[in-house]
């Protein structure tokens, strides 16, 4: 089924975009809010990492498994069929439905009775979140004309880092709640009877985090469904465009032959490999290496780092748009420059002897790191026709998810365990390590006996070395971005192609 863009609306859609400017702004901000919520629910688990590790007595390798492969696999597998649906169906309805699914699954994470149940609920979060970005990017390209898309998608992409900020703020603050405090508050507002069978003294703070941050998504999904209009496909593209609702194989034929798609996807995948690996262990690093508690790790360090990362995302999109007239391929190569600056900044941050020094270097690294986010969507949507955009983005996200989220946390966790094992073996502490309980390192190290300080030091140092090893993969990512820049102009889509 096809329709010319001219029949979809105004002949000037490729100049003005769809709807009024205030309404376009509302739609963009609403989709950014949804993407922000997506990343709050996705990343809040990393804020309460150490408490969960302690509750279920997990190794770093197990924690890497929980935050990595299962989530990535189902996120990737569900992304393509949902994107194909989005290229043919009502995208607003699809996003609303997916928000409901991932919000419910986030709430259920707080109810998990074991490691396996938590793993299954995280898979549910992944399935829901797979339906966010591909249709949202497709909607934005139909609301905004080509000249404004880089900045619009850059703003939307800020949802990743804004979600990180709010996850740190809410997660850090709520994690310090005691079950009795929350139960007393429920009674005070007259809702205690709904949960009269709960022994609040046994409810851990990290469980409350999942329930409280997940529930609002149900209301937000309803508001989205009632207030956002589904735009005609291709409305904001040149009127000579024929807008075909492409199937998967038609879309694959279009983007599969373009080198830019593959080099861009691999570049973004290796950035995600590092990014997911670091964020999964950011809070444990601050707690183990610098002795920061859960709340302060999130509120004083995690949230500010996520905020400057949001600035980096915005700056990347803004600079790309401003420099594009002079450097047409800037959206593809600018991320590579940022990543090469981020490598030494991260390494020195992890090696810094004091927390203020580490934090200052970490800020620089985060800004340079996250300048890439808008580019992956700007470039990928500009090399294919309007009817293939959601599917193209979904395949790119599949590659990113499998390599980045799928392997990154696992690699960082496994390397942390391996480095720690090497340090323990070198110090001859294998026998003491057999009964090591890392939960005691925070404030009960004396209970670990005479070898306690050495074991806790190895626990911290193993993670430090792993974080450094992980960030070196940015060099590979930068190389792929530079390769993408070489073919970007040749591969860009136009109505004549």
pLDDT, tens digit, for every residue of 226-241? 998 888 877 766 664 4
Taking residue 446's Cβ as centre, other Cβ atoms within 10 Å add up to 10
Task: Please tell me the predicted confidence (pLDDT) of residue 182.
Answer: 67
Q: Which residue has the higher pLDDT, 197 or 254?
A: 254
127-159 confidence digits (pLDDT tens): 999 888 888 888 888 888 877 777 788 788 778
Q: Which residue has the higher pLDDT, 412 or 64?
A: 412
* pLDDT range class, residue 185, cuts 50, 70, 90: low
The least confident of 207-221, 231-245, 294-308 is 231-245
> Does residue 124 carry a pLDDT above 60?
yes
Instruction: Report the C-alpha gap between 336 and 478 in whole angstroms.
Output: 4
Mean pLDDT on 172-181:
74
> Does residue 224 carry a pLDDT above 80?
yes
Task: Please tell me the predicted confidence (pLDDT) of residue 422.
Answer: 92
53-75 confidence digits (pLDDT tens): 888 888 888 888 888 788 888 88
Task: Please tell me the predicted confidence (pLDDT) of residue 2.
Answer: 37
Task: Please tell me the predicted confidence (pLDDT) of residue 323.
Answer: 83
> Does residue 263 carry a pLDDT above 90?
yes
Q: Mapping DSSP to helix (H, G, I), strand (E, B) and coil, where does residue 3 land?
A: strand
Instruction: Report the C-alpha gap between 38 and 132 in whole angstroms.
Output: 8
331-358 confidence digits (pLDDT tens): 889 999 999 999 999 999 999 999 999 9
* pLDDT range class, residue 242, cuts 50, 70, 90: very low
Q: Which residue has the higher pLDDT, 149 or 107?
A: 107
Closest by Cα among 237, 496, 248, 277 to 381: 237
Task: Please tell me the predicted confidence (pLDDT) of residue 188.
Answer: 63
Closest by Cα among 120, 208, 157, 187 to 39: 157
Q: How far is CA 44 from CA 288, 302, 382, 493, in A?
A: 19, 11, 32, 38
The least confident of 143-152, 244-253, 409-418 is 244-253
> Does residue 296 carry a pLDDT above 50?
yes
Supply the mean pLDDT for the chain: 84
Mean pLDDT on 20-34:
90
> Does residue 15 carry a pLDDT above 60?
no
Task: Please tell me the predicted confidence (pLDDT) of residue 364.
Answer: 95
Closest by Cα among 411, 430, 398 to 84: 398
Q: How far is CA 333 from CA 66, 165, 267, 369, 372, in A?
A: 33, 27, 11, 13, 9
Task: Please tell me the predicted confidence (pLDDT) of residue 412.
Answer: 94
* pLDDT range class, residue 261, cuts 50, 70, 90: very high
The least confident of 191-205, 402-416, 430-444, 481-495 is 191-205
The least confident of 11-20, 114-123, 200-209, 383-392 is 11-20
- Dihedral, CA of residue 358, residue 359, residue 363 and residue 366, to nearest 10: 70
Mean pLDDT on 424-448:
81
Closest by Cα among 456, 457, 422, 454 to 437: 456
Task: Please tell me the predicted confidence (pLDDT) of residue 497.
Answer: 54
Closest by Cα among 157, 139, 147, 137 to 372: 157
For the entire predicted model, the pTM comes to 0.73
Mean pLDDT on 83-97:
87
Structure tokens at 388: 């293939």
* pLDDT range class, residue 9, cuts 50, 70, 90: very low
């Amino acid at each position: 089924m096809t329709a010319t863009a001219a029949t979809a609306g105004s002949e000037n859609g490729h100049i003005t975009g769809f709807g009024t400017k205030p309404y376009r702004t509302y739609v963009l901000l609403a989709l950014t809010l949804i993407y922000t919520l997506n990343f709050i629910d996705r990343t809040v688990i990393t804020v309460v990492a150490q408490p969960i590790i302690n509750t279920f007595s997990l190794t770093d390798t197990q924690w890497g498994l929980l935050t990595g492969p299962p989530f990535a696999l189902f996120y990737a597998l569900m992304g393509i069929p949902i994107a194909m649906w989005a290229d043919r169906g009502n995208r607003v309805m699809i996003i609303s439905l997916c928000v409901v699914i991932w919000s419910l699954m986030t709430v259920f994470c707080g109810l998990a009775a074991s490691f396996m149940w938590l793993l299954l609920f995280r898979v549910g979060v992944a399935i829901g979140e797979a339906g966010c970005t591909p249709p949202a990017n497709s909607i934005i390209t139909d609301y905004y004309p080509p000249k404004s898309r880089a900045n619009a998608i850059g703003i939307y992409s800020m949802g990743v880092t804004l979600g990180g900020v709010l996850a740190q703020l809410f997660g850090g603050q709520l994690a310090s709640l005691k079950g009795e405090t929350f139960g007393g508050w429920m009674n005070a507002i007259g809702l205690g009877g709904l949960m009269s069978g709960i022994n609040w003294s046994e409810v851990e703070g990290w469980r409350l985090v999942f329930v409280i941050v997940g529930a609002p998504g149900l209301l937000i999904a309803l508001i989205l469904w009632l207030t956002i209009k589904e735009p005609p496909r291709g409305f904001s593209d040149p009127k000579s465009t024929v807008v075909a609702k492409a199937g998967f194989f038609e879309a694959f034929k279009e983007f599969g032959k373009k080198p830019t798609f593959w080099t861009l996807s691999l570049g973004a995948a290796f950035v995600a490999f590092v990014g997911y690996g670091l964020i999964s262990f950011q809070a444990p690093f601050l707690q183990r290496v610098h002795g920061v508690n859960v709340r302060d790790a999130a509120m004083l360090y995690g949230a500010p780092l996520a905020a400057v990362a949001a600035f980096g995302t915005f700056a990347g999109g803004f600079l790309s748009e401003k420099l594009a007239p002079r450097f047409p391929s800037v959206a593809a190569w600018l991320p590579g420059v940022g990543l090469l600056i981020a490598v030494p900044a991260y390494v020195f941050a992890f090696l810094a002897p004091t927390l203020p020094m580490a934090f200052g270097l970490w800020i620089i690294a985060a800004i340079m790191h996250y300048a890439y986010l808008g580019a992956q969507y700007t470039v990928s949507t500009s090399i294919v026709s309007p009817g293939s955009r959601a599917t193209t983005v979904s395949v790119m996200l599949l590659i990113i998810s499998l390599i980045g989220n799928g392997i990154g946390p696992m690699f960082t966790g496994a390397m942390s365990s391996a480095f720690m094992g090497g340090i323990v073996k070198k110090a001859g502490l294998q026998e003491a390590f057999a009964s090591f309980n890392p939960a005691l390192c925070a404030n009960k190290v004396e209970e670990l006996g005479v070898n306690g300080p050495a074991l806790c030091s190895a626990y911290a140092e193993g993670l430090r070395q792993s974080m450094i090893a992980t960030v070196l993969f940015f060099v590979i990512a930068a190389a792929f971005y530079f390769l993408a820049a070489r073919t970007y102009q040749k591969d860009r889509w136009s109505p004549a192609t």
